[in-house]
Structure 1
Amino acid sequence: MPLTDDLRRTLSSSTPLYVAAGTADLAAQKLRELPATFDRLRAEAPERLPKLRERAQHAALQGVGIALEYAVRARETYDGLAERGKTVVERRRAEGAPADGTDVTVERAEQPPFTEPEARKPAQEPVTEPVTEPVAEEPAPKPRTARTAKKTAPRKGAPKKMPPKD
């Protein structure tokens, strides 16, 4: 029986036991070295602190730079899409009114020039005129008969508030 033989070999193997013993010994060794490592780091801290502070400032400045770069790219993409949309609308207007009688007018208000990100508020475009589309008439709903009428339970009001207990 090969399965039984494999199981016996696996259970009688001492390799997993050795692995566990080696892991426990390594952990104990590292824990014994820990106080010396703390003392060394405490002694080096005054020397390392200015370097760490400089690295933190550098990382913060890089983050701000990257954020500004993405903001500029987003603005360029937004303006590009707006220009593309304007071209599409002008082309549709030049072709004439659509066959179904819908006419959509979109106008864009002038925006102030780009300012610093802190002082800038999100762009809000004013609505110059409502967009209206003809509404297709829907068939009137069928009147309910005694057979199709649903019975509804009476609605309950809001629960009464209890005065606070002293």
Structure 2
Amino acid sequence: MPITDEIKKTLTDPTPLYALAGAGDLAYEKLREVPGRVEALAADRQGAQDKATARLHEAQELLAGAPAKVTEAVTAFPTDLKVLQERAQGFALQQVARAVELAVRAKETYDELAERGKVVVEKARPHGDAEPTELDPTIELDPTIEPALAPETAPAPAPAPAPKNPAKARKNTPTVAE
């Protein structure tokens, strides 16, 4: 019964709930910092406008010389296809390594959120409650039960078997008194 074992394991593992509680706590913590950041941004507004104006002038200067730079870049492209192929393979390998690194970081973040959530849940739990080792599912799975069919696909119930002795069946049938 590997499917039922997997379902039981999924239902009894509290880690996703802890991760959710940890993410909520982290979001709450970050939202409490918003008013201070808004005040700081309001104070730096004039400085930001000056920086934006300076960057706009830099961008305009760069655009003035852009056609010459594009022509230079196009002529500098390597014409050897083997070099291009090697560069493409190197780039692909770099991206695979980056994807693996991101997956590891995602797992670490998930684990950190789960630990944070566990702390939040323990703080919120009344002191009289004992810490459960695992969540108890409310439904016990019985592997012998077939899944229910949808009403339109359910087979019609079988008719009741006819009595073997019709006379005896009439005696046992209640009659309505007039």
Task: Work out whether the TM-score is over 0.5.
Answer: no
How high is the TM-score relative to the length of structure 2? 0.34
Which gives a bigger RCO, structure 1 or 2 (Cα 8 Å, sep 6+)?
2
Q: Kindly name which structure, 1 or 2, has the bigger radius of gyration based on alpha carbons.
A: 1
Between Structure 1 and Structure 2, the one with more helix by share is 2
